[in-house]
Structure 1
Amino acid sequence: MTPTPAPALTIGFDLDMTLIDSRPGIHACYLALAERTGTYIDADLAVTRLGPPLVEELVNWFPPEEVAAMADLYREMYPSIAIAATPAMAGAREAMDAVRAAGGRTMVVTAKYEPNAKLHLAHLGIEPDVVVGDLWAERKAEALREYGAGVYVGDHVGDVRGARTAGALSVAVATGPCDGDELRAAGADVVLDDLSAFPAWLAAYREAPRA
């Protein structure tokens, strides 16, 4: 049987601070984890540096030998605390719709625990064709390559590195912890203020002649 060819246009998106404003939910979950464990966590500080995997934040608050267990506990608590508290970012739905209107395929590639990433998207009614979790920075290239993504959209310099490692165009949005200058310095090909600007950018990108 001849395999079905992939759509000519496959675009990947990061999740936290790209498609969703996960700060309120994550803030609440860190406070709950602190209360549950009796360990101080500066939730205000933690939500200013979203992007890297959970364990990279937890090492700031727990001894190394406890981090894995605390990550499991956090993920167990997360659905009942963080999902309903997390809104979509401005332009998120419209960005996904623009890819579909162009006949393309959408995917989400995130460092977040995949089951929780899927819960967020389902709660908000955002339905990408593919969701891959538990990948950060350069490792995001694994999924981007597997599904033939030519563009990856994210808010963190780690997302830029993932796109570049995959040989994909890096479109950055300055809605997370990294500002436009940081994103450009990391090698982003395009920097947008937020996803509200994405549909117009996509239309221009599709019309531009290819080398």
Structure 2
Amino acid sequence: MVSPSASPSPSASPSSSSSPSAPTVGFDLDMTLIDSRPGIRACYLALAERTGTFIDADLAVTRLGPPLVDELGNWFPADRVDAMADLYREMYPAYAVAATPALPGAREAIDAVRAAGGRALVVTAKYEPNAKLHLAHLGIEPDAVVGDLWAEQKAEALREHGASIYVGDHLGDIRGARAAGALSVTVATGPYDEAALRAAGADVVLADLTRFPEWLAEHRRDGHGGNSPATGYREAPRA
């Protein structure tokens, strides 16, 4: 279920705060808006030291995207994974937040949505309180943040907020956009290159978020503003 803390207030709903042609755009967090590898690596190393369990942190940060418990299952017995996930999340603010920078173009991408009169939300598999800490630390202020959702689960939040576009770096983000009937815009700043993202069915492939404001402006000039479902709509990928 979508976190109540992320539900839009009546004054912030798409129908009341956005013009009919203004988009609502969802963004993934890890490796889309932020380069979370340094912070996550530091937290994994601290967890390994605290528990006396080997974790290949360098390997782990090459496969970010899926839920934390999936990765921890590679290093801990199944009956300890949930407890280790709780411990990791507890340790995370001290080790990961300050060490994590914004990716190039992250703030400008959010600003571009706002400049178009739209709403920007972050929908991520990351534990929601820690996602909010990252955004606050970096001064990135979306209209809503929804955490703890992965792949097709993200469609719940995207539909609830009326998002017509979802921007991510992972194949799971493409699946989430598809399930929501949203346009899948991808950036090749995560574990997949542009060719892999295209092959997985992304509608749009950008090198990184620095290309997003220009793409959004072109998208709107071509008459694709607003929050109507994008199912079946295909756009030529842009490198």
Is residue 201 of structure 2 the alignment partner of residue 187 of structure 1?
Answer: yes
For 2:51, the equivalent position in structure 1 comes to: 37
Q: 2:132 and 2:148 mapped to 1: Cα distance? A: 12
SS across alignment from 2:62:
coil
Q: Are positions 1:133 and 2:147 aligned together?
A: yes
C-alpha distance in structure 2 between counterparts of 1:57 and 1:43, whole Å? 10
Match of 2:163 among 124, 127, 149: 149
Secondary structure in structure 2 of the residue aligned to 1:172: strand
2:70 equivalent in structure 1: 56
Distance 1:26 1:138 in 2: 24
Q: Hey, what's the Cα distance between the residues in 1 that align with 2:68 and 2:100? A: 17
2:125 counterpart residue number: 111
How far 1:183 sits from its partner (Å)?
Answer: 1.0
Query: Is residue 201 of structure 1 aligned with residue 215 of structure 2?
Result: yes
Report the Cα offset of residue 208 of structure 1: 0.3
- Separation in structure 2 between the aligned mates of residue 34 and residue 81 of structure 1, nearest angstrom: 13
SS at match of 1:47: helix
2:210 & 2:121 partners in 1: Cα distance?
A: 18
Deviation at 1:178, TM superposition (A): 1.1
Partner of 2:236: none
- Structure 1 segment 63-78 matched on structure 2, within 5 A: 63-78=77-92
* C-alpha RMSD over aligned residues: 1.3
C-alpha distance in 1, partners of 2:47/2:223?
51
The residue number in structure 2 matching 1:46 is 60
Task: Give, in whole Å, the separation in 2 of the partners of 1:209 and 1:20.
Answer: 30
Deviations 1:160-197 (A, max 9, x none): 00001100000000000011122111110000000000
Gaps of 5+ in 1: none
Deviation of the 1:40 alpha carbon: 0.2
Q: CA deviation at 1:84?
A: 0.2
**What are the Cα deviations for residues 139-165 of structure 1, in whole angstroms up to 9, with x where unaligned?**
000000000000000000000000011
In structure 2, what is the equivalent of residue 171 of structure 1? Answer: 185
Q: 1:168, 1:184 → 2: CA distance?
A: 16
User: Identity over the aligned pairs, expressed in percent?
Assistant: 77
Equivalent residues, number: 210
Q: Secondary structure at the match of 1:202?
A: helix
Q: TM-score, normalised by structure 2?
A: 0.86
1:23 is matched with which residue? 37
Separation of aligned partners in 2, 1:75 and 1:209: 43
Q: Displacement of 1:209 after TM fit?
A: 3.0
Give runs of ≥4 in structure 1 deviating > 2 Å. Answer: none
Tell me whether 1:86 sits opposite 2:100 in the alignment.
Answer: yes
- Which whole-Å CA distance do the structure 2 matches of 1:23 and 1:209 have between them? 37
- Output the CA distance in 2 between the equivalents of 1:118 and 1:43: 23
